[in-house]
Each structure stands twice: as C-alpha cells, then as structure tokens.
Structure 1
Amino acid sequence: MQKKVLLVGIDESHASFYSLEWAIDHLLAPDPPNSIFKLVLVHVKLPALSILRVSGPGIGGDILPTVEADLKKTAAVVTDKAKELCKRKSVINFHVEIVEGDARNALCQAVEKYHADILVVGSHGHGAFRRAILGSVSDYCAHHAHCTVMIVKKPKNKENHSN
C-alpha cells in the first residue's frame, strides 16, 4: 500500500513548529513508523533580491552575498530543528526540501510536486491589517492548494487569556 503524503510547511516561527508537532502527534501517532503517511517538510526561503528590493533603490551589489548567506543559514537552522523534532518523535519516514520563492505559491507547487493529500500550515495569528498587507499564507493555501489544507492554531495559554 502506497503511503499518503502529509506535507507540512515550516519556517522559523513558533506557530510553524507547533503545527509540525501537532501533525506528528495527531496524524502520525501513536506509531509513526506504521503511519499511513509519508511526511514531507517544506521550508520556503525568500529570494535575496526580493529582500533587497524592499530595502530600497541602490541597495544590492556588496550586500547580496551577505543576505543570501543569512537566508541559507536560517533555512539550515529551520530544517535541522524540524529534523530533530521528527527524530525525537520517532518519525523516520520523512523528506525535507528547501525551496525558494513566495511561501504561498511555493507550498501550492509543493502540493502538486509531491501529490500531497494533506497540507498542514501554522497560523501566525496576525491581525486583519497585517494579513491585508502581507497576505496570509494559510488563507491563500486554503483557497488554492489542490488538497485538504489543515491550519493549526496554537491555543491561547489560559494564563494569558485571563489578562
């Protein structure tokens, strides 16, 4: 029997790692090696030029290699942390990929590439204004990915909720 594909988008945020842990605990547990899913982790790295364009005109040249190196370092830290979480949770059947681009499009393309059955993304909990300016990755994927999309939202801490 061919395993179904569970694709999880990961970035450096707490929401991202919460959603990965939730997916492992709820969709792969209690026996990850015998799970019906193969886990695919996708980290989307922004292109260095897109960051420099936002910085303003005249920025680039000498800075480009530094920005690119920093983005690669961040990607390595994120994927290493995700691999460690999988290993701690006894998940052995997983694949990690780093892709470059806009997270919304890149995750939808990864769904197609891996023929994902489920895409899991975290909810960063941004307000309406920030979502309107930046765009919500989870909202975009929910409307454009050709598979089931699960948006995992970390519950508010009871102590914080009462304040």
Structure 2
Amino acid sequence: MEGDRRVGVAVDFSACSKKALRWAVENLVREGDNIILINVQSEVHYEEGEMQLWEATGSPFISLSDLADPGIAKKYGVKPDAETMDMLESVARQKEIVVVMKIFWGDAREKICEAIEKIPLSCLVIGNRGLGKIKRAILGSVSNYVANNGACPVIVVKQIDHEG
C-alpha cells in the first residue's frame, strides 16, 4: 500500500455506516486507492490465543475475500451484510482498488483516532447516526469526536432521514 491513498471508512454495518461507505465509493474513492474499513468492537469476546495479542494493536488487515468467509467473519465477531459486501466487491473490481478491514476493540472514539495515526489514513469517512441534541449530549457523538481529534481530514456523512 506504499504511496497510494488510504481511504478509511468507519463501518459497523448499520444504515448510517453503509450510507457513509456508499458516499465514499461514489464521491471519493478513485482507481488505485485502498479502502481500509475500520470496525470497532465494544466488547472483547475471544478465546485464549492470537486475538489477545491484537487487543492493543488491532487485528491484522483482513482481505475482502476473507471477510466474505463466514468462519473468518465469526472469528472476528463481525457480521458483514450482503449489501455491503456486494458494494465492496463491485467497487474493488470496477476501480481496481484494494479493500481490507482492520478491527479494534474498545471505545470507538479513541480507537478510530488511533487507527488514523497507526495505519496511517489519508482521510476518513464516518457516518453520523443523527442523534438529537439531548441524546448526543448524553451518549456523545463518535463522529463529532473523531472530526475534532482525528489526525487526518474527516468527512462526516449525515443521516438526514429524520430530524431530532
């Protein structure tokens, strides 16, 4: 991946993260880029072994073909849906790009910012759940935190289906 743009997309396979991925694919990603999917698991569920080693640094890069393997996806605790996988496979073929995923465990705000620096990413696209002001004040906004603290340009794709 030396010398190429590394476009990060924060994904949790929710509607807002799929919207962010779709926006990145349609408006940002160009031929020869690398898409790095950043997934953060809030809880660590693993047996003794290699995954304990990855808790601090994140998983190794997981290829798109490995991500499509139900056994490997289950091993990492991710559940990619068919729509997301189809979108990724299509863009990988059409734009001749590399798609990989890296999984982190812990607080999404901190781990996404950590991923930006450690990978390092050229830019990051993240969805916004569209929380109202009260919920955002109580729960905190991951996208707002990353936009203010990330060490690269951050594009926030807003969920505009409802106001709140």
TM-score normalised by length of structure 1: 0.70
Query: Are the counterparts in 2 of residues 43 and 75 from structure 1 also a CA contact under 8 Å?
Result: no
Aligned Cα root-mean-square deviation (Å)? 2.6
- Offset at residue 88 of structure 1 (A): 2.5
Going from structure 1 to structure 2, the CA distance change for 1:134 and 1:78 (only over 3 Å counts) comes to farther
Q: How many Å separate the matches in 1 of 2:83 and 2:110?
A: 24
**Which residue of the partner structure matches residue 68 of structure 2?**
none
**Mapping of residues 28-67 of structure 1, within 5 Å:** 28=29, 32=30, 34-35=31-32, 37-47=33-43
Q: How many Å separate the matches in 1 of 2:160 and 2:88?
A: 22
SS of the aligned residue for 1:78 comes to: coil
Structure 1 residue 150 and structure 2 residue 161: aligned?
A: no
**Which residue of the partner structure matches residue 88 of structure 1?**
90
4+ residue segments displaced more than 6 Å:
none
SS of the aligned residue for 1:77 comes to: coil
Q: Point out where structure 2 has 5 or more consecutive residues left out of the alignment.
A: 46-73
Q: How many Å separate the matches in 2 of 1:122 and 1:44?
A: 14
CA radius of gyration, larger in: 1
- Offset at residue 98 of structure 1 (A): 1.5
The one-letter code sitting in structure 2 at the alignment partner of 1:14 is A
2:114 to 104, 109, 124: 109
Going from structure 1 to structure 2, the CA distance change for 1:41 and 1:88 (only over 3 Å counts) comes to same
Structure 1 residue 2 and structure 2 residue 3: aligned?
A: yes
Query: Are the counterparts in 2 of residues 79 and 96 from structure 1 also a CA contact under 8 Å?
Result: no
**Which residue of the partner structure matches residue 102 of structure 2?**
97
**Mapping of residues 10-29 of structure 1, within 5 Å:** 10-28=11-29
Going from structure 1 to structure 2, the CA distance change for 1:97 and 1:84 (only over 3 Å counts) comes to farther
- Offset at residue 129 of structure 1 (A): 0.9
Query: Are the counterparts in 2 of residues 10 and 78 from structure 1 also a CA contact under 8 Å?
Result: no
- Structure number having the greater helix percentage: 1
TM-score normalised by length of structure 2: 0.70
Sequence identity (%): 31
Q: How many Å separate the matches in 2 of 1:79 and 1:39?
A: 17
The one-letter code sitting in structure 2 at the alignment partner of 1:137 is V
